[in-house]
Amino acid sequence: MKKIIVFVILAVALAVMLFAAPNGGDEPRVILIKNATIFPIVGDKIDQGQLLIQDGKIAALGKSVTAPEGALVIDAAGLSVYPGIIDAFSHYGLSEIGAIGSTVDMREMGKENPELHASWAINPGSVHFGTGRVNGTTSALVAPVGGTFPGIAALVRMDGWTVPEMTIKDSAASLINFPMTPRSSGAESVSQQQESKVDVTSKLVDKIRDTLKEARRYLQLKKAAAADPKLTAPAVNEKYEALAPVLDGTLPVIISVEKDKDIELAIKFTQEEKLKAIFRGCEQGYKVADKIKKAGIPVIIDSLYTGPTDPEDGYDAPFRNPGELVKAGVTICFSSGDDPSAGKDIVYHAARAVAFGLDHEEALKALTINTARVLGIDNRLGSLEVGKDADLFITSGDPLDPKSDVKHMFIAGRHIDMKNYWETLYEKYKARPIR
């Protein structure tokens, strides 16, 4: 009997351990958020509204949604509800402390590693997931950075026990660092360009084309061998295999590019190679905005903690760029940039862009629905609509205001504990007696 009791206790304890979500959150259940100002992003703002979460999804929202029996009710009077922010380019879980190599996994040796998956190295225990959530980020594209073909980025939730649990899309996008003047994050260096009269950029682009050509040839040989038993299939090449969905246009490829001339070159490259491209960076994008628009290529805005590409552009060029791109009709997405320790700053970049001309509503879209659409996940994320994943947050004010405070967050319907690494330190040290 005693043994049975001990067994039951152990079993219950185990069950509790298994079902307690990471970061102290709860398992999905029925939750009603009431009296909130709801900003669905797609659809009109709802004053004094309710939003019902059931089975990890948004079950209902409107002005007269009532709580089913047993639902957890959150009174959000005076607060606002927004869909979770999607960070369109980050390194969450791939870098903990920049200066300590053993904690950094963003960059592989060599230039051509299209077969690397970020998802193989993401650390779900990184403190930056917790600190990155404070301004409303609920999911992020996690990308490697090194070389010309850095690998494959994954779209993950900002919460979960394991990588598979966090993963929304293991293969969300492939990456190409387009040749350009040096930037901090692994772009191909063409600094010699200024000195030599040789068009280094074009030569490096030719090199990328050669790789794609070889991959196409490999895939053709493989296809031919499959159809004809007399032919020998080529030895398996992981790199070319990884490029297959890029070449047939099923996997988008994020092309990092900065200067106007390089952007024009990248558009030409993208069209000739028939790639489904997303540009990243485009700091001088405003100079060729109509061309980007015409090519139908969306742009991931990089960190705005930067000076102008060229001093002649004026001190505010990086800040007005997002607004100018949107005015020209280009779809933009915000991202936090190079370091996950500054992941929360994604909304600060958006605020800076609004200060210099970007429409506020467009900024919110560029943090949510635009990114969902660009990554092909808008059936689940990016807005508050019935049937979508319950990825959302409740905040004291404008999400772009550094003074606003995110009070609650739900990821796939799980109520996330907002207490993070910082909060733990804060609670401890503010309790020290003052002498």
**Pick from 170, 206, 385, 401: which binds other proteins (CB under 8 A)?**
401
Residue with smaller CB distance to other proteins, 62 or 397? 397
> Is 259 a residue that touches other proteins (CB under 8 A)?
no
Instruction: Give the nearest distance from C-beta 339 to other proteins in angstroms.
Output: 7
Instruction: Give the nearest distance from C-beta 3 to other proteins in angstroms.
Output: 46
**Pick from 214, 305, 328, 380: which binds other proteins (CB under 8 A)?**
305
Instruction: Give the nearest distance from C-beta 396 to other proteins in angstroms.
Output: 9
**Cα gap 116→420, rounded to integer Å:** 30
Instruction: Give the nearest distance from C-beta 39 to other proteins in angstroms.
Output: 16
> Is 354 a residue that touches other proteins (CB under 8 A)?
yes
> Is 102 a residue that touches other proteins (CB under 8 A)?
no
Instruction: Give the nearest distance from C-beta 374 to other proteins in angstroms.
Output: 25
Residue with smaller CB distance to other proteins, 43 or 397? 397
Residue with smaller CB distance to other proteins, 209 or 419? 419
Instruction: Give the nearest distance from C-beta 103 to other proteins in angstroms.
Output: 9
**Pick from 183, 222, 352, 415: which binds other proteins (CB under 8 A)?**
352
> Is 355 a residue that touches other proteins (CB under 8 A)?
yes
The encoded tokens of residue 301 equal 């805005």
Looking only at residues 309 through 348 of this chain, which bind other proteins when binding is defined by CB under 8 A?
A: 311, 314-316, 339, 341-342, 344, 348
CA 225 to chain centre: 39
**Cα gap 18→336, rounded to integer Å:** 32
> Is 264 a residue that touches other proteins (CB under 8 A)?
no
> Is 404 a residue that touches other proteins (CB under 8 A)?
yes
> Is 430 a residue that touches other proteins (CB under 8 A)?
yes
Residue with smaller CB distance to other proteins, 161 or 356? 356
**Residues 330, 395: contact at Cβ < 8 Å?**
no
Instruction: Give the nearest distance from C-beta 318 to other proteins in angstroms.
Output: 10
> Is 432 a residue that touches other proteins (CB under 8 A)?
yes
Residue with smaller CB distance to other proteins, 50 or 303? 303
Full 3-state SS string of the chain: CHHHHHHHHHHHHHHHHHHCCHHHCCCCCCEEEEEEEECCCCCCCEEEEEEEEECCEEEEEECCCCCCCCCEEEECCCCEEEECEEEEEECCCCECCCCCHHHECCCCCCCECCCCEHHHCCCCCCHHHHHHHHHCEEEEEECCCCCCECCEEEEEECCCCCHHHHEEEEEEEEEEECCECCCCCCCCECHHHHCCCCCHHHHHHHHHHHHHHHHHHHHHHHHHHHHCCCCCCCCCCHHHHHHHHHHCCCCCEEEEECCHHHHHHHHHHHHHHCCCEEEEECCCHHHHHHHHHHHCCCEEECCCCCCCCCHHHCCCHHHHHHHHHHHCCCCEEECCCCCHHHHHHHHHHHHHHHHCCCCHHHHHHHHCHHHHHHCCCCCCCCCCCCCCECCEEEECCCCCCCCCCEEEEEECCEEECCCCHHHHHHHHHHCCCCC
Question: Is the sign of the CA dihedral 350, 354, 358, 361 positive or negative?
Answer: positive
> Is 261 a residue that touches other proteins (CB under 8 A)?
no
> Is 405 a residue that touches other proteins (CB under 8 A)?
yes
> Is 123 a residue that touches other proteins (CB under 8 A)?
no
Instruction: Give the nearest distance from C-beta 313 to other proteins in angstroms.
Output: 9
Residue with smaller CB distance to other proteins, 341 or 371? 341
Residue with smaller CB distance to other proteins, 106 or 168? 106
Instruction: Give the nearest distance from C-beta 136 to other proteins in angstroms.
Output: 13
**Residues 143, 92: contact at Cβ < 8 Å?**
no
> Is 97 a residue that touches other proteins (CB under 8 A)?
yes
> Is 431 a residue that touches other proteins (CB under 8 A)?
no
**Cα gap 387→60, rounded to integer Å:** 8
Looking only at residues 127 through 156 of this chain, which bind other proteins when binding is defined by CB under 8 A?
A: 127-128
Bridge-based pairing state of the strands 392-395 and 80-83 = antiparallel
**Pick from 16, 99, 109, 235: which binds other proteins (CB under 8 A)?**
99
Which residues of this chain interact with other proteins, rule CB under 8 A?
A: 96-100, 127-128, 305-307, 311, 314-316, 339, 341-342, 344, 348, 351-352, 354-356, 398, 400-405, 421-423, 425-426, 429-430, 432, 434-435
